[in-house]
Amino acid sequence: MATPTCSSSFSVISRPSSYQPQFILFNLPPRTVTSRFRCSAGSTGFFTKLGRLIKEKAKSDVDKIFSGFSKTRTNLAVIDELLLYWNLSDTDRVLDQLEEALLVSDFGPRITIKIVENLREDILSGKLKSGNEIKEALKRNVLELLTSKGSKTELQLGFRKPAVIMIVGVNGGGKTTSLGKLAYRLKSEGAKILMAAGDTFRAAASDQLEIWAERTGCEIVVAESEKAKASSVLAQAVKKGKELGFDIVLCDTSGRLHTNYSLMEELISCKKAVGKVVSGAPNEILLVLDGTTGLNMLPQAREFNEVVGVTGLILTKLDGSARGGCVVSVVDELGIPVKFVGVGEGVEDLQPFDAEAFVNAILV
């Protein structure tokens, strides 16, 4: 057996010297990780424990969520002023201005009207008798919208290893960066992660993912051939993940416009390819959406969902947007849960989504 050399700091797994590789698995130097439990292949309930720990982390990191939605919170601060001196005779004017504040924050017309009419009904029936009661009722309405249709915010990774997560989305939404941050979070909880560089269209995509692999101490499968198909890269990665005892394979894909039929069809091929290697894979198909686009993300989400069946959403760049109400709209419109939100540029700023923490962050 001969071991090929590589000009980078990575080492490559051994292969027969006569073999012309189409894929390379980079083994990064081991990095010490502080974990709250030991990860061992085949351990009963590993993914259940992982999901619980990530959920607990979301509860403990409410400060990040709070600071991440500061611009949306500023937009909605007018609600407190409206309700401070509220009286029954002023109800119509106050509710009209509350409606405007919700629309400006991209809650969307349908959601906004639903919330405002619920409040109006409770006020006129005598259930709400003060500004504080109206504020609390508003928060309950928003929370109910988030939890009634998007309750499964934790990752659903099944019981078979490796679990496979596909990351999809349009160009420029923060897809590869989100994958890297997700790898960091999962690895920090003790999972053994393999990345798959399935973005075969963008020249710098593999390089970007290799940087994230090095940064997080994960291993990565990349295509050596420029003509390699994305479906083949992902299938090879999942096969390696299965053979080498990885817990989770994170599959990057090329960014694509939801209106490009041929590229959307490629996602179907990728999904089928990994399913042939591990029955039931991918366990999650996470759609990355740019939070700064607000309600404009809805057509993208609908199309991706129709083509590949999106199981969860990652909403990025929300710290730079005052349009946080789009979180509520996308969940209510599509019934797809938000799994993670991007609230900063740091490696730890991809936060598990917690509906109650979100509501408390935008409506203090």
| pLDDT of res. 64 | 66
Output the pLDDT for position 120: 96
Give the per-residue pLDDT at 52: 62
Tell which residue, 333, 334, 335, 341, has the closest CA to residue 358: 341
3-state helix, strand, coil in the chain (%, to 5): 50, 15, 35
Picking from 111, 94, 136, 96, the residue whose alpha carbon sits closest to that of residue 294 is 111
Give the separation between CA 95 and CA 99, rounded to whole angstroms. Answer: 6
Q: What is the pLDDT of residue 58?
A: 58
Phi first, then psi: give them for residue 94, nearest 5 degrees.
-65, -45
Q: Report how far apart, in Å, the C-alpha atoms of 244 and of each of 22, 136, 317 are.
A: 18, 52, 35
Burial class (CB in 10 A: 0-12, 13-18, 19+), 138: buried
pLDDT of residue 324: 85
Return the closest-CA partner of residue 229 out of 173, 283, 268: 268
pLDDT digits (tens), the chain, 364 positions: 444 433 333 223 323 333 344 556 655 444 433 333 233 334 447 777 666 666 666 555 556 676 778 888 888 988 988 888 888 888 999 999 999 999 999 999 999 999 999 999 999 999 999 999 999 999 999 999 999 887 788 899 988 899 999 999 988 888 999 999 999 999 998 999 999 999 888 777 788 999 999 999 999 999 877 778 999 999 999 999 999 999 999 999 988 776 667 778 889 999 999 999 999 999 999 999 988 888 888 888 999 999 999 999 999 888 777 788 888 988 998 899 999 988 888 888 888 888 888 898 889 8
Residues 256 and 263 sit within 8 Å (Cβ to Cβ): yes
Distance CA 86, CA 239 (A): 63
Q: Look at residue 361 in the predicted model and tell me its pLDDT.
A: 87
Beta strands in 71-216 (DSSP E): 163-169, 193-198
Report the candidate in 250, 340, 263 with the shortest Cα–Cα distance to residue 308: 263
Q: Which residues of 53-73 are buried (b: 16+ CB within 10 A; e: fewer)?
A: bbeebbeebbebbbebbebbb
pLDDT for the residue numbered 225 = 76
pLDDT, position 31 = 40
35 three-state secondary structure: coil
Residue of 345, 284, 303, 336 whose CA lies nearest to 47: 284
**What is the pLDDT at residue 309?**
94
Predicted local distance difference test score (pLDDT) of residue 27: 54
Query: pTM to 2 decimals?
Result: 0.83
